Amino acid sequence: MDAAAPKPKENMGEPLPRIDARLKVTGQAHYPADLPTANIAYGALATSSIAKGRVTKLHLDDARAVPGLLDIVTYGDMDKFERPKFGNTGATSIGPLHDRTIFHDGQIIALAVAETFEAAEEAAQLIRADYEEEKPTASFDSPGTKTIPAAGKSPLFKEDVKAGDFEAAYAAAPVKIDQRYSTPTQHHNPIELFSTTAMWEGDRLIVHEPSQNVTGWKVELARQLKIDPARVRIVSPYIGGAFGSKGPMTTRTAIVAVAAKRLGRPVRCVTSRMQAFGTQTYRAETRHRIRIGAGKDGRITAFAHEGWEVTSRPDAYVVGGTSATGRMYDYGSVLTHVSLVQADRNTPGYMRSPPETPYVYALENAMDEMAVALGMDPVEFRRINEPKTEPIGKKPFSSRSLIQCYEQAADAFGWAKRDPKVGAMRDGDWLIGMGCATAIYPTAAAPCAARVRLTVDGGVRVQCSSHEIGTGVRTVAAQMAAERLGAGIDKVEVEMGDSSLPPAPVSGGSISTASVCSAVLKACDAIRTKLFAAATGEGSSLAGSHNEELDVRGGKIVAKSGASAKVEDVFKTMQVGAIEEYAEFAPKSATPQALKKLYAGQPEFHGGESDEESVKYAFGAEFVEVRVNSYTKEIRVPRIVGAFAAGRIMNTRTARSQLMGGMIWGIGQALHEATEVDRRYARYVNRDLQDYLVPVNADIKDLQVILVPEVDHAVNPAGVKGLGELGNVGTAAAVASAVYHATGKRIRDLPIRIEQLIT
């Protein structure tokens, strides 16, 4: 069996190929900007070239003179609509065309609409603005920042967690470190460009746009346009990579919808890659101070994690990863504090494992420093600080297989062959370093609805408005239905990515598989109940059997006794051609309003640290080998091994691919990714894929993913922990530790580049 399709172990599903694979390799999977639309007009954005001030005048004459120009939407044109809102569904509260204030570089100042893409681009480039410019504040250390506490600013970040008396324990600790770490601005850069295609059919609006949250967007867009949400439909059947960037709706969507209304024609606006840096969200730059104190035996007695994060002036976006880092190990005492630093920037947002990527990077780099300070093997250091309960609320973990992950990954990696001495391992001119780190991601789920139909010919249709962003959610939903209804996978069709389907939560926070599969499971079980009721009726071959003795397999209802009845015959008995069930799943701890909120596009997340009886996390351990050239200091990662435990694995193939992609993201975060800010002007400089580097094929050589079996019935009915965001947590710290092992240089500021090693 090839590497892409790992053999399932306990509590793992078959590595079935994606059910949409054929569409994807033939060019027939239609992404939102692919959908043909008659009589389409093209839109192009004009954006600000300053970060702070006011637009005093717009020069539109040159743009209007472009043949084929149809309309320009700009100041005044959005006045009768509502401003955007910052929150779960809205990327920012800045309504760029609602007034002339400029809050950040690259803010939309106009939308040019023309007969052709070329004319629209030409016109947009000809739009010029006069500004009343103010000196902007770029980031940390710039004059004019305002620092505020983060706790309570976001519903997802309520408090600075703490436990015990950190100060006393730290003061008394015989071995301690006190270090600072930082991570840069990063942009998601999915390969699919951001786009909006808006079309009106009478008073109904259809928007084709790549989205991780069609239900939320439907409601928010309707609010902005002051129309009934029932008249808005968001269509997003395939999404070309998202990573959080397509979760919150940005301000472009309503502007394009207004343009389409004014023209009475469909309008498509594909944002250029350069413009995406200012019009979409991004991962905020963060700074950290970490203090760890321990006894000489390596037992941690004190842990403090302070974080600082950049956000925009109007919106308090919180990264806030101390909730996870504060619960990672058996610390004794914990002190945390997170601050927001407001600057003249666009509002940051969720990017793949939003809190954990930067915060766990800092923690795990510090853990390695601490192991060095203790003279202890870094794996052993984690082992002896493995907690029985989490240190903040003293709740148990619903399951925690971190040590198994470390053992299996270390074994596969050959950790035992590592010479712990710095600079001791070498291959010719290349210094070899090895490092490891922990991955953690909270397991949550949200309310979700699904409709499943079983037809007499054995066909199954699953409908759910969740989003296929590449995770394979279509495939695992099909697998769930196929398993529960005893159908072949080829008999299952799955419709997703359309707000007219049963609502699903935002595809973020690694909740989709758990939430969607739990809803599909519930709908399938309702179908089973109906089938079983009919099949066990008086006079039938299964009469008297109880439901728990029955299963559906290969078109038959089968009893433990061996007796069976054809599903086809049961349909005859019922005198129906199809059974369709609509199910709503809500996590156990959901509030009474949870389902209502789902339909309103405001899904409640439950799980992680918030549940009463236990905390819920998925864990992993990652090991990397780096090579650093002894002359020129370029850094490569030729080998990486990760072992992960995440409850039930629905499909080992798609699970491995997600984790692999995450690990490679982690390598990129360690060595490549950074959006550079020109600090004089608070403007992004490297706004394209030529200068914003991500790993390419040649950067990745030997990569191994180990799926560690784990059973966890407490997390959700499907027993599934998410893993889309687990793989890239910790990787950068493992690389930093390996670079230290190779060179003796501890790099604390990401990305790790030649210049940090060469001087």
Partner 1 sequence: MSQPSALPATDLNRRSFMTGTVSAVAAVPLLGSPAKAETAGRSDTGPREPAVTSLRINKQPYELSLDPRTSLLDALRDHAGLTGTKKGCDHGQCGACTVLVDGKRVLSCLSFAVMNGGKEVTTIEGLSSTDGVLHPMQQAFVDHDAFQCGYCTPGQIMSAIGCVNEGHAGSEDDIREFMSGNICRCAAYPNIVAAIIQARDETKGA
Partner 2 sequence: MRPFVYEQPTNISAAVALASRFTNSDDAPTRANAQFIAGATNLADYMKLGVAQPDRLVDLNRLAEPALRQIRITDDGIRFGALVRMGEAADNSEVKRRYPVVAGSLKLAASGQIRNMASLAGNVLQRTRCEYFRETSWPCNKRVPGSGCAAMEGFNRQHAVLGASDACIATYHGDFAQALIALDAVVHAEGSRGARKIPFAKLHRRPGDTPHIETDLAADEIITAIEVPAIPWARRSLYLKIRDRESYAFALASAAVALDLDGDKVREARIALGGVATVPWRARTAEQALQDKALDEASAKAAAEAAFADAEPRRDNAFKIELGKRTLVRALLETRDMKV
The 3-class SS string of 218-283 reads HHHHHHHHCCCHHHEEEECCCCCCCCCCCCCECCHHHHHHHHHHHHCCCEEEECCHHHHHHHCCCE
Choose the one of partner 1, partner 2, none that binds residue 29, judging by a C-beta under 5 to 8 angstroms depending on kind.
partner 1
- Pick from 304, 332, 337: nearest CA to 320: 337
Contacts for 520 with CB less than 8 Å, ≥ 6 apart: 450, 452, 462, 464, 477, 480, 481, 484, 583
429 binds partner 2 per the rule CB under 8 A: yes
Confirm if 180 and 289 have CB atoms less than 8 A apart.
yes
Helix (H) or strand (E) holding 59: strand 53-59
Residue 621: strand, helix, or coil: strand
Cα 734 to Cα 411: distance, rounded to the nearest angstrom: 16
State yes or no: is 725 an active-site residue.
Answer: yes
Confirm if 178 and 683 have CB atoms less than 8 A apart.
no
Segment contacting partner 1 by CB under 8 A, of 438-446, 505-513, 522-530, 658-666:
658-666
In the shown chain, the binding pattern of residues 489 to 508 toward partner 1, with x for contact by CB under 8 A and - for none, equals ---------x----------
> Residue 395 has what DSSP assignment?
P
In the shown chain, the binding pattern of residues 693 to 712 toward partner 2, with x for contact by CB under 8 A and - for none, equals x-xxxxx-------------
Contacts to partner 2 from residues 281-320, by CB under 8 A: none
Nearest-approach distance from CB 117 to partner 1, in angstroms? 6
> Which phi and psi angles does 639 have, rounded to 5°?
-145, 135
Cα 237 to Cα 462: distance, rounded to the nearest angstrom: 14
Q: How do beta strands 195-201 and 175-183 pair?
A: unpaired
Tell me, rounded to whole angstroms, the distance of Cα 400 from its chain centroid. Answer: 22
Segment contacting partner 2 by CB under 8 A, of 171-179, 295-303, 632-640, 646-654:
632-640
State which residue, 683 or 687, has the beta carbon closest to partner 1: 687
> Which phi and psi angles does 195 have, rounded to 5°?
-155, 155
404 binds partner 2 per the rule CB under 8 A: no
> Which phi and psi angles does 584 have, rounded to 5°?
-120, 125
Confirm if 304 and 166 have CB atoms less than 8 A apart.
yes
Among 12, 41, 256, 334, binds partner 1 (CB under 8 A): 41
Tell me, rounded to whole angstroms, the distance of Cα 659 from its chain centroid. Answer: 12
Residue 55: strand, helix, or coil: strand
Contacts to partner 1 from residues 452-471, by CB under 8 A: 468-471
Q: Determine how many CB atoms are found less than 10 A away from the CB of residue 297.
A: 10
- Pick from 599, 585, 500: nearest CA to 219: 599
63 binds partner 1 per the rule CB under 8 A: no
190 binds partner 1 per the rule CB under 8 A: yes
Choose the one of partner 2, partner 1, none that binds residue 192, judging by a C-beta under 5 to 8 angstroms depending on kind.
partner 1
13 binds partner 1 per the rule CB under 8 A: no
Contacts to partner 1 from residues 662-681, by CB under 8 A: 663-665
In the shown chain, the binding pattern of residues 651 to 680 toward partner 2, with x for contact by CB under 8 A and - for none, equals --------------------xx---xxx-x
> Residue 77 has what DSSP assignment?
T
Among 65, 171, 274, 424, binds partner 2 (CB under 8 A): 274
Number of residues interacting with partner 2: please give it, by CB under 8 A: 36
State which residue, 588 or 679, has the beta carbon closest to partner 2: 679
Distances in Å between the Cα of 358 and the Cα atoms of 309, 324, 639 are 10, 11, 22
Contacts for 475 with CB less than 8 Å, ≥ 6 apart: 16, 17, 18, 19, 20, 494, 651, 654
Cα 86 to Cα 105: distance, rounded to the nearest angstrom: 18
In the shown chain, the binding pattern of residues 122 to 141 toward partner 2, with x for contact by CB under 8 A and - for none, equals x--x----------------
Cβ-based burial of 5 (10 A; exposed 0-12, middle 13-18, buried ≥19): middle
Q: Which of 364, 468, 710, 725 is catalytic?
A: 725
State which residue, 194 or 571, has the beta carbon closest to partner 2: 194
208 binds partner 1 per the rule CB under 8 A: yes
In the shown chain, the binding pattern of residues 35 to 74 toward partner 2, with x for contact by CB under 8 A and - for none, equals --------------x-------------------------
Segment contacting partner 2 by CB under 8 A, of 34-42, 616-624, 714-722, 749-757:
749-757
Number of residues interacting with partner 1: please give it, by CB under 8 A: 83
Q: The tokens of 720 are what?
A: 């599934």
Among 202, 612, 698, 759, binds partner 1 (CB under 8 A): 698
Segment contacting partner 1 by CB under 8 A, of 266-274, 375-383, 444-452, 741-749:
266-274
- Pick from 369, 370, 295: nearest CA to 332: 295
Cα 579 to Cα 263: distance, rounded to the nearest angstrom: 44
231 binds partner 1 per the rule CB under 8 A: no
In the shown chain, the binding pattern of residues 368 to 407 toward partner 1, with x for contact by CB under 8 A and - for none, equals ----------------------------------------
State which residue, 35 or 373, has the beta carbon closest to partner 1: 35
658 binds partner 1 per the rule CB under 8 A: yes
Choose the one of partner 1, partner 2, none that binds residue 628, judging by a C-beta under 5 to 8 angstroms depending on kind.
none
Choose the one of partner 1, partner 2, none that binds residue 672, judging by a C-beta under 5 to 8 angstroms depending on kind.
partner 2
Cα 641 to Cα 646: distance, rounded to the nearest angstrom: 16
Nearest-approach distance from CB 122 to partner 2, in angstroms? 6
State which residue, 16 or 700, has the beta carbon closest to partner 2: 700
E strands, 586-739, in order: 606-607, 617-629, 635-645, 677-678, 683-684, 702-707
State which residue, 79 or 688, has the beta carbon closest to partner 1: 688
Choose the one of partner 2, partner 1, none that binds residue 671, judging by a C-beta under 5 to 8 angstroms depending on kind.
partner 2
Catalytically active residues, by annotation: 725
Question: Contact positions toward partner 2, by CB under 8 A?
Answer: 49, 118, 121-122, 125, 274, 429, 629, 631-634, 636, 671-672, 676-678, 680, 685-688, 690-691, 693, 695-699, 753-755, 758-759
